[in-house]
A and B are shown apart, each in its own frame.
Chain A
Amino acid sequence: MDHPIVAEGLVRRFGDLVAVDGVDLHVARGEIFGFLGPNGAGKSTTVRMLTTLLSLSAGSATVAGYDVEREPHIVRRVIGVALQEAAIDPIMTGRELLKLQSVLHGIKGRVASDRGDELLERVGLTAAADRRVGTYSGGMKRRLDLALSLVHEPEVLFLDEPTTGLDPTSRQALWEEVRRLNDEFGTTVLLTTQYLEEADQLAGRIAIIDGGVIVREGEPDQLKSEVGSPTLRLDIDPSRHDEARAILSQYGESRPARSERVAIGLEGGAARVAEVVRSLDETSIEVTHMELDAPSLDDVFAEATGRRLEGAAETGAG
């Protein structure tokens, strides 16, 4: 079982609307897989189908080898789920919710309370454990939600927009926690996000979904390099620009740049920067400043869909 999450031709219709339109996914064991897309792309709908909360209109899916439609109760034993609207009851305390979650997953008594304490510690909520969840900050709620999804030590973890609405510090803290889980226990993670940076930093592999269809899939770096070479900008004395351009032409096509600069699309990427600098140095062309701008996932998204995700994510509340 190399792929704890497999989906083939996943389709979900709501009346006339096709929210998910033939999604194929193969998430490998121990992988952090990012599902990146704008509002309404079909991320949550996909997650809800994979976690047995929504029936499939067509296609099939297995999680940890079990069919989500035919063996949903077994799937539910092995998955941890933190949904988009952190489903926590404001009137209960964090500790009480952990108790409830444990019992629902067949963990009781001493074992459950020890596990609860350990998880509270892990997500840094020990001090707030006996406070009503209604008094928690957004970041605390998310961390509690994560802790809740972990009580039964799931093999596969689904996180639907775990950091939407969090400030950068809280976001970082949650990333750390997800990474740690993945490192320590090899938990397979599928997380959805509208943040390019999150997909880039956290996920080993990503799928970009738009309009219910996966438009790109692969490792972030590979996807970015497919879009094109990074732009290398060099500040060079204008009197030497012609010479410099002649040398640089062997490293990639020339790109537009401000007057004091020379820019090329660096073929082969960052690895060749040293080589470029050495060539210039050999002809004693002095480089006073240098910038390398790799294509971003936003460029990947733009290339695939003709639209930009950047910015949209910051305003979209989800």
Chain B
Amino acid sequence: MTVTIDTSGRGDAAFGFWSSARIVMWRGWVKTQRMPSIVVQSLFFPTFFLIVYSGLYDAVTDLPGFPTDDVTNWFLPFMLFQGAAFGGLGAGFGTAVDIDSGFFDRLLLMPGNRSAIMVGSVGYALLRSLFVAVVVAGVGVALGASPTDWAGVPLLALAVVAISIMGSLYSLALIYRVKDQRVAPLFPIGIFVLLFVSSAQVPLSVTTGWLNAAGRINPVTNLLRLGRQAFLDTGVTWEDTWGGLVAIVVCTALLGWWAERGLRHYNP
């Protein structure tokens, strides 16, 4: 009963980074299916807001220079982002539960590279986010949203994926450091602030003062510019695209680094 041990170097690769990440992701998915309430909750808010905003804020499109006539076109990308961001937090929530129950120790005892746990959690939350996105998009189309430039649709999809990943990495970075389920209710606060201090509700041009200043430097504003192009009168332009792409690369890299460091130094 001995194990052949490769003592040369770290040899972590022998333990299949991707198969480990996949099995962690698979577990998350299995659990979600058995607790459908989780999905119902992540579906409910973006769908509900989309319906309410589309009904209530029709007049917003009458603002001078508003980039679309259709209020659903305006709010759909925002609601997809919201769904993706909160879906992404599922990675942190799931990990918080695992830390609390001690299950996380079992994962930490894997001989391979522990980053696979992080990647698996992000992947699982992404699956959830994508499921939500498809449903919310369906509701949006039913409410009358229709792309003005189909070239923008893959860009919107890219932004949704990126936002889910960022939400996951952010929540994981926090939970890997705080290691306590009690921090979990704080996850959504950061997301709310970022989403709302942006051009999410109205174009930046109609905001003033600090809100305008904060909105300008908020990467979410750039992501929204990128993602909304599919639904605005102007269609896809490079000017509205590049800022979002930079935001995706920079934010994902920074959050990924932050989360990975947290996990690497996890051992208390």
Are B101 and A187 touching (Cβ within 8 A)? Answer: no
Q: Which chain A residues lie closer than 8 Å to B108 at the CB level?
A: 53
Q: Which chain B residues lie closer than 8 Å to A51 at the CB level?
A: 109
- In angstroms, Cα B19 to Cα A104, docked, is 8
Tell me the nearest residue of chain A to B34, going by C-beta: A91
Which residues in chain A, 87-115, are within 8 Å of chain B measured between CB atoms? 87-89, 91-92, 96, 99-101, 103-106, 108
Residue in A83, A86, A91, A155 whose CB lies within 8 Å of B35: A91
Which residues in chain A, 137-156, are within 8 Å of chain B measured between CB atoms? 148, 152-155
The contact size tier of chain B is: 35 or more
B2 on the A face (CB < 8 A): yes
Which residues in chain A, 17-56, are within 8 Å of chain B measured between CB atoms? 51-55
A85 on the B face (CB < 8 A): yes
Are B103 and A103 touching (Cβ within 8 A)? Answer: no
B208 on the A face (CB < 8 A): no
Q: Which chain B residues lie closer than 8 Å to A132 at the CB level?
A: 34
Residue in A55, A106, A108, A187 whose CB lies within 8 Å of B111: A106
Residue in A87, A92, A108 whose CB lies within 8 Å of B19: A108
From B9-17, B59-67, B81-89, give the one contacting chain A: B9-17
Nearest-Cβ distance from residue B246 to partner chain A, whole angstroms: 36
Q: Which chain A residues lie closer than 8 Å to B102 at the CB level?
A: 83, 85-87
Are A106 and B16 touching (Cβ within 8 A)? Answer: yes
Are A77 and B35 touching (Cβ within 8 A)? Answer: no
- In angstroms, Cα B106 to Cα A148, docked, is 10
Nearest-Cβ distance from residue A30 to partner chain B, whole angstroms: 11
- In angstroms, Cα B267 to Cα A104, docked, is 19
Tell me the nearest residue of chain B to A99, going by C-beta: B23
Q: Which chain B residues lie closer than 8 Å to A77 at the CB level?
A: 3, 5, 111
B20 on the A face (CB < 8 A): yes
Nearest-Cβ distance from residue B16 to partner chain A, whole angstroms: 6
Are A103 and B16 touching (Cβ within 8 A)? Answer: yes
Are B103 and A87 touching (Cβ within 8 A)? Answer: yes
B268 on the A face (CB < 8 A): yes
Given contacts A91-B35, A103-B19, contact A76 B109 (CB under 8 A): yes
Residue in A54, A73, A104, A187 whose CB lies within 8 Å of B12: A73
Q: Which chain A residues lie closer than 8 Å to B111 at the CB level?
A: 73-74, 76-77, 104-106
Interface of B is mostly: helix
Are B101 and A87 touching (Cβ within 8 A)? Answer: yes
- In angstroms, Cα B112 to Cα A81, docked, is 16
Q: Which chain B residues lie closer than 8 Å to A76 at the CB level?
A: 109-111
- In angstroms, Cα B26 to Cα A108, docked, is 14
Are B20 and A78 touching (Cβ within 8 A)? Answer: no
Tell me the nearest residue of chain B to A48, going by C-beta: B105
A211 on the B face (CB < 8 A): no
Are A103 and B105 touching (Cβ within 8 A)? Answer: no
Q: Which chain B residues lie closer than 8 Å to A83 at the CB level?
A: 102, 105-106
Given contacts A87-B103, A104-B23, A106-B15, contact A53 B3 (CB under 8 A): no
Q: Residues on A close to B: CB < 8 A? A: 51-55, 73-74, 76-79, 81, 83, 85-89, 91-92, 96, 99-101, 103-106, 108, 132, 148, 152-155, 185-187
A-B complex: 7 closest residue pairs judged by Cβ atoms: A185-B1, A87-B102, A104-B110, A103-B23, A77-B111, A76-B111, A106-B15
Q: Residues on B close to A: CB < 8 A? A: 1-3, 5, 7, 10-12, 14-16, 19-20, 22-24, 26-27, 30-31, 34-35, 98, 101-113, 267-268
Some 22 contacts from A to B, beta carbons below 8 A apart, are A51-B109, A53-B108, A53-B267, A55-B267, A73-B112, A74-B5, A74-B7, A74-B111, A76-B110, A83-B102, A89-B27, A89-B31, A89-B98, A92-B27, A92-B30, A100-B23, A104-B109, A106-B16, A153-B1, A155-B1, A185-B1, A186-B1
